[in-house]
Copies of this chain bind each other. A is one copy, B any other.
Amino acid sequence: MCRWLAYRGAPLRTSELILHPQHSIIAQSLDSPLGAEPVNGDGFGFGWYPQGADDRGPGLFHSIEPAWHDRNLRELTAAVSSPLFFCHVRAAAGPPIQQTNCHPFRYGNWMFMHNGSIAEFGRVKRDLVLEVDPDLYPHIQGTTDSEVLFHLALTLGLRDDPIRAMRAAIGHVEAVGRSHGVTFPWQGTVAVTDGATIWALRYSTQGRSRSLFHSVDVTTLRELYPHEERLDLFSDDAHVVVSEPFNDLPGTFVEVPENTVAVLDSSGYHHQEFHPTPHPVLR
């Protein structure tokens, strides 16, 4: 279900990562060998934070059309430079295919995207939505499990402590799922950001999560490949977290392990174990 890409570093023309690589996320919309489905043609989304001092929050572009031939996406990514951006191509289980079902989702200065699913979502949806803060509830506009999880996490304090909130939100999803007799309620990788830090987690109840990789330090890559001109595009602090590698340069990407939350911030990349809260204390 889907492929995504998250970047953090010096402002970069977004097409350098979204369009130009050999196996870019746009190429992955048509064929993603490491994805649960090879085709991710059920719409796409692109969210980007502005360069420089700007209180505007991230811009968003969503479309229901497949990314592979979309002209607007190519135009926009060529025009936008950003220090932190998300891109997502969707493989939906079924209709509706609509812009409100495209990732990334946004709330205030936060963005969120997901590759995976909440099992038996139709059956558990009402219970999950009931836990969303009533003030946040009208903000839910689509029909995806991902959007509901985002709003659960917001309800559970995402803006104060993202890791704790994601632990509680996924823990809640697992508790509700089990109460409905679902064995493996949660699947997936998630990326969340406030525009300064990116948190990317890889966890599934069954322990067989969708693929997730992070880039090694650019300085390391420059040593590995001193003549690789493409590296000149990137600042030393440039990092990506991606569903699957977008180039074939050995050593560029390292898998993010299961049960992990990776953090990209001004100190670089680091990660720690991630486990949901077994019995989260709700509001």
Contacts and interface: CB of A to CB of B under 8 A. Distances in A.
Contacts of A94: 69
A280 interface: no
B96 A76 contact: no
Contacts of A65: 64-65, 97
A122 interface: yes
B66 A100 contact: no
Number of copies: 4
Given A62-B71, A62-B72, A99 B96 contact: yes
A254 interface: no
A78 B57 CA distance: 10
Interface stretch (A137-145, A198-206, A209-217): A137-145
Contacts of A72: 61-63, 72
A75 interface: yes
A50 B71 CA distance: 18
Contacts of A125: 137-138
A99 B96 CA distance: 8
B92 A96 contact: no
A134 B92 CA distance: 24
Contacts of A79: 48, 50, 56, 59, 80
A56 to B, nearest CB: 7
Contacts of A138: 122-123, 125-126
Contacts of A134: 126
Given A60-B75, A72-B63, A96 B41 contact: no
A95 interface: yes
A1 to B, nearest CB: 13
Interface string A157-172: 0000000000000000
Nearest to A47: B75
A30 interface: yes
Nearest to A100: B96
A26 B100 CA distance: 21
Q: Which 4 pairs show the lowest CB-CB distances between chains A and B?
A: A59-B79, A98-B98, A122-B138, A69-B95
Given A65-B65, A69-B95, A70-B95, 16 more contacts: A39-B39, A39-B41, A56-B78, A56-B79, A59-B79, A62-B71, A64-B65, A65-B97, A69-B97, A71-B96, A71-B99, A76-B76, A98-B99, A100-B143, A123-B138, A126-B137
